[in-house]
């Protein structure tokens, strides 16, 4: 009786141990599959379009209307260069234009007067000279008009305004500074272009389609943001692609026993404009693509329309290009493999 109880206890311990080991192995396998194949990554950054603000004309800064890190609307004044020099140039160009028009009027009247003289009253050479002077005076008027237009444009350029809605950053300007034409004085972060660029391993790209829902977790905020895949990168740099001697490919004679998966940039757009207080260019993020949600949405949409679920966009494109044979059953994406 005692031996039977002892055998039963040992058997139960063995079964319990094997069960725990099996569960641990199963959980480890699922964790490995999720880590290796599931479309998620911690290598993601917040990005936005950045506009460098540089004046079109040089001059002393008379006014700075913004502060560093302030928000501006499109068309708001950023800074202004002292306008006196440009106003004087406009006045001078107007005077030059008036003088050119007066000379044109005189030369034109003189040429017409000579044309009305009877034959033999003036030589052909004198008539041609008068007509040439009239044409030259007309060209001088055109040049004066162009100089006036440029002077007005320079005066307008002396006032620098924001080309976008965004945030001022890296402000390197103060009243009294000399602004140089073409030299960046500040930077604007376009508030309408915030997005996330995630770098996925190439082994995970087969589980990502444009339009797939995405969960976005910023290290700077506990709030989970929602987005969708906007585009998938189509090119990355290759180290061996640099030309060598005689412009031939420079290939290193190295074989890697362990090949590391290349990372491809995937652009993720926000579904709605998030709280701008939590967004800064360069912030780190973790993103999870949810292809199963996209498949569910497609299946639901197809059912509502009385159609069968649509095949994957990538397969449809391949069919259109003649690269894949048609199939009767919809393609479903797995979580791994």
Across the range 156-169, mean pLDDT stands at 95
**Is the whole-model pTM more than 0.75?**
no
Residues 109 and 202 in one domain: no
CATH number of the CATH domain containing 220 = 2.40.30.170
Q: What phi and psi values does residue 158 have, to the nearest 5 degrees?
A: -65, -20
**300 within some domain:** yes
Is 77 contained in some domain? no
Contact (Cβ atoms closer than 8 angstroms) between residue 48 and residue 193? yes
Query: Which range of residues forms the domain containing residue 205?
Result: 38-49+191-320
Q: What gap in Å lies between CA 201 and CA 303, rounded to an integer?
A: 34
The verdict on residue 172 lying in a domain is no
- 186, part of any domain: no
Whether 200 has a pLDDT exceeding 90, the answer reads yes
Please check whether residues 235 and 306 belong to one and the same domain. yes
Is the domain of 235 the same as that of 129?
no
Q: Label residue 120 left, alpha or beta by phi (over 0 means left) and psi (-120 to 50 means alpha).
A: left
pLDDT (0 to 100) of residue 36: 61
42 lies in the same domain as 111? no
Each residue's pLDDT tens digit, 151-162: 999 999 999 999
134 and 221 both lie in a single domain: no
* Cβ atoms 79, 56 nearer than 8 A: no
Same domain? 42 vs 100: no
Does residue 217 share a domain with residue 296? yes
Residue 142 lies in a domain: yes
Considering the domain architecture, whether residues 149 and 213 belong to the same structural domain is answered as: no
* 165 Cβ neighbours under 8 A, 6+ residues apart: 71, 72, 73, 74, 190, 191, 192
Mean of the per-residue pLDDT values for the chain?
83
Q: Does residue 60 lie in a domain region? A: no
- Is 90 exceeded by the pLDDT of residue 37? no
**Within this chain, do residues 214 and 141 fall inside the same structural domain, yes or no?**
no
Question: Residue 273: exposed, middle, or buried by beta-carbon count in 10 A (0-12, 13-18, 19+)?
Answer: exposed
Given the structure tokens 């005692």, which residue do they identify? Answer: 2
- The CA distance from 192 to 74, in Å, is 11
Inside any domain, residue 333: no
Check residue 329 and give its pLDDT: 39
Q: Quick one: 138 and 195 in the same domain?
A: no
- CATH assignment at residue 90: 1.10.287.470
CA distance 204 to 39: 5
The reported pLDDT for the residue numbered 252 is: 73
What pLDDT band is residue 184 in, cutting at 50, 70 and 90?
very high
Beta carbons of 225 and 69 less than 8 angstroms apart: no
Mean pLDDT confidence for 209-238:
92
Total structural domains in the chain? 2
Does 98 fall in a domain?
A: yes
Are residues 295 and 204 both part of a single domain? yes
Task: Say if residue 256 is in the same domain as residue 196.
Answer: yes
| CA–CA gap between residue 78 and residue 63 (Å, rounded) | 9
Pick from 52-66, 75-89, 225-239: least confident? 225-239
Give the C-alpha distances (Å, rounded to integers) separating 326 from 206, 254, 276, 313, 323: 19, 41, 46, 13, 10
Q: How far is CA 4 from the centre of its chain?
A: 75
Give, in order, the Cα–Cα distances in Å from 47 to each of 161, 197, 282: 23, 7, 6
Of 115, 137, 157, which one is at a domain's C-terminal end?
A: 157
The residue-averaged pLDDT of 180-189 equals 94
Lowest-pLDDT choice from 27-36, 131-140, 144-153, 294-303: 294-303
What is the per-residue pLDDT across 79-115, written as a single tens digit (0 to 9) for each?
A: 999 999 999 999 999 999 999 999 888 888 887 877 7
The span from the CA of 229 to the CA of 309, in Å, is 21
């Amino acid at each position: 009786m005692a031996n039977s109880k002892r055998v039963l206890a040992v058997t139960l311990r063995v079964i319990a141990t094997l069960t725990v080991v099996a569960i641990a192995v199963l959980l480890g396998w699922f964790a490995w599959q999720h880590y290796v194949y599931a479309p998620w990554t911690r290598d993601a950054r917040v990005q936005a379009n950045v506009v460098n603000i540089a004046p079109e004309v040089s001059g002393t800064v008379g006014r700075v209307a913004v502060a560093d890190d302030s928000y501006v609307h499109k068309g708001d004044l950023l800074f202004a260069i002292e306008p006196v020099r440009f106003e004087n140039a406009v006045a001078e160009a107007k005077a030059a234009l008036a003088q050119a028009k007066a000379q044109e009027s005189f030369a034109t009247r003189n040429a017409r007067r000579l044309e009305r003289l009877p034959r033999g009253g003036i030589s052909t050479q004198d008539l041609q000279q008068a007509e040439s002077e009239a044409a030259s005076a007309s060209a001088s008027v055109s040049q004066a008009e162009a100089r006036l237009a440029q002077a007005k444009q320079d005066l307008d350029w002396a006032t620098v305004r924001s080309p976008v809605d965004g945030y001022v950053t890296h402000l390197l300007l103060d009243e009294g500074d000399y602004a140089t034409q073409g030299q960046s004085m500040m930077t604007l972060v376009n508030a309408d272009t915030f997005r996330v660029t995630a770098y996925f391993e190439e082994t995970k790209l087969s589980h990502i389609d444009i339009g797939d829902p995405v969960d976005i977790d910023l290290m700077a905020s506990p709030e989970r943001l929602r987005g969708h895949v906007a585009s998938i990168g189509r090119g990355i740099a290759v180290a061996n692609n640099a030309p060598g001697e005689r412009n031939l490919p420079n290939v290193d004679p190295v074989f890697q026993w362990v090949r590391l998966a290349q990372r491809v940039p995937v652009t993720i757009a926000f579904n709605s404009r998030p709280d701008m207080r939590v967004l800064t260019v360069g912030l780190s993020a973790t993103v999870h693509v949810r292809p199963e949600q996209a498949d569910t949405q497609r299946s639901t949409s197809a059912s509502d329309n009385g159609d069968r679920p649509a095949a994957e966009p990538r397969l449809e494109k391949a069919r259109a290009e003649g690269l894949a044979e048609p199939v009767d059953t919809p393609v479903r994406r797995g979580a791994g493999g």
